[in-house]
Structure 1
């Protein structure tokens, strides 16, 4: 039944999603070129509120839980499992006060209304996965901007989306590059569940009436742990929260 409803509701969702991108592209341009970073960021935040709202056109729901007393004005590296592109708008909207920047494929920085403009001018990192030197350079530049501006970042250490909701192995390379230039950053795991089900059948039809959930977990001070050790800690905490395993690593055991 959900798949059948997807044939009916997916076009409605895509129309809403696409209209938001088209409408906010010139708004972003004006905000960025006439009023600067703050206005541009605000326009991007509002855009992602609308993009998140388009999920409800499918009957899907968004629950974002953040019970952590996270500092504002200190760089934070949010590390999340990655299930679909539908992970991103809620992260941008609900983490907006932390100025969270994203690491994206360089291919996305061209040709997509609103999204490409923000990737070019929003302060994140656009990496070429085929050029390791370029990718590391972009991450180092992002870490520098985080340090200088007290911005945060969202990274998906699995490297690719999980198509069945199972958390893949976390890699520490991106985290290490950011910490190299922004060692004061706080590490914060974010557990995402059920967004993979939206694209369970592919891009069409989208799945319907899915309860998607994001939860910010307890922060981790980097201390003397290596990036790979920190990635293991975060991976185990997210897996434990999602019921995929018992915790395999703790901060005390690795520091």
Structure 2
């Protein structure tokens, strides 16, 4: 039934989603040119509010839970599992207070209304996955901007989307690189649920009636821990929420 309704509602969703991207493309450019970074950020935040709640056209519910009083005067590394492209607008909107930046593929910085201009002007890191030296250099630059501005960043340590919702093993490289530049950054896991279901049949039809959830989990202080230990702790915290905990002997072997 969800697939059937998807055939009817997906075109409506795409029309509005694409319309907001096109409308906010010149708005972003004007905000940046006339008033600089802060105005540009506001335009990006408002855009991602609309992109997030476009899910209502698919009768997908949106739930964001954060019961922690996270600092705004200290950089934060939000480490999340990754299920679909629809994870990102909601993270930008709900984490707007923390000026969360993203590490993105450099290919996305051209040709996509609103998204590409934000990647070029927003202060994140656009990396070439085929050029390890360039990728590390860009992440280091992001770390410096985090340190200078008390910005935060969102990292998907799986490295790719989990198309079936099953959490992949987290890689510690990105967190390790940023912590070398910003050793006082707080690491905060974020568990994402059910966004993979939206695209279970690909780009069309999108599915309907999904309960989309983003849950901020207990923070991890990096002091006295290796990047590998921090990453594993974040992974296990997310797995616990999703009911995908590793067997004890497997956890011990990974650590």
TM class by shorter chain equals: over 0.9
Aligned to 2:143: 143
In structure 2, the residue matched to 1:74 is 74
Distance 1:247 1:68, change over 3 A: farther
Which segments of structure 1 move beyond 4 Å, counting only runs of 4 or more?
246-249
Gaps of 5+ in 1: 250-255
Q: Secondary structure at the match of 1:85?
A: coil
Cα deviation, residue 226, structure 1: 1.4
Distance apart, 1:246 and its partner CA: 6.0
C-alpha offsets along residues 211-231 of structure 1, whole Å, 9 cap, x if unaligned? 110100000100121111111
Q: How does 1:172-251 map to 2 (within 5 A)?
A: 172-245=172-245
Two-structure CA RMSD over aligned residues (Å)? 1.1
State the TM-score, normalized to the length of structure 2.
Answer: 0.96
What is the distance in 1 between the residues matched to 2:247 and 2:74? 27
Task: Write the distance in 2 (CA, Å) between the matches of 1:46 and 1:104.
Answer: 20
The residue number in structure 2 matching 1:167 is 167
Tell me what 1:46 maps to.
46
**1:247, 1:76 → 2: CA distance?**
29
Q: Does 1:65 align with 2:69?
A: no
1:15 aligns with 2:20: no
Judge conservation of contact 1:100–1:151 (CA < 8 Å) in 2. yes
Q: Which runs of 5+ in 2 are unaligned?
A: 250-255
Distance, in Å, in 1 between the alignment partners of 2:125 and 2:113 is: 18
- SS of 2:53's equivalent in the other structure is helix
SS in 2 for 1:5: helix
Q: In structure 2, what is the Cα distance between the partners aligned to 1:230 and 1:131? A: 26
User: Would you say the 8 A contact 1:237–1:247 is kept in 2?
Assistant: no
Task: Find the residue that maps to 1:188 and give its secondary structure.
Answer: strand
Give the number of equivalent residue pairs: 249
The answer to whether the 8 Å contact 1:186/1:219 transfers is yes
| Residue in 2 that maps onto 1:253 | none
Q: CA deviation at 1:2?
A: 0.8
Distance 1:157 1:167 in 2: 10
TM-score by length of 1: 0.96
Residue of structure 2 equivalent to 1:125 = 125
Check the 8 A contact 1:240/1:247 in 2, yes or no.
no
Shift of 1:176: 0.8
In structure 2, the CA distance between the partners of 1:247 and 1:95, relative to structure 1 (3 Å rule), is: farther
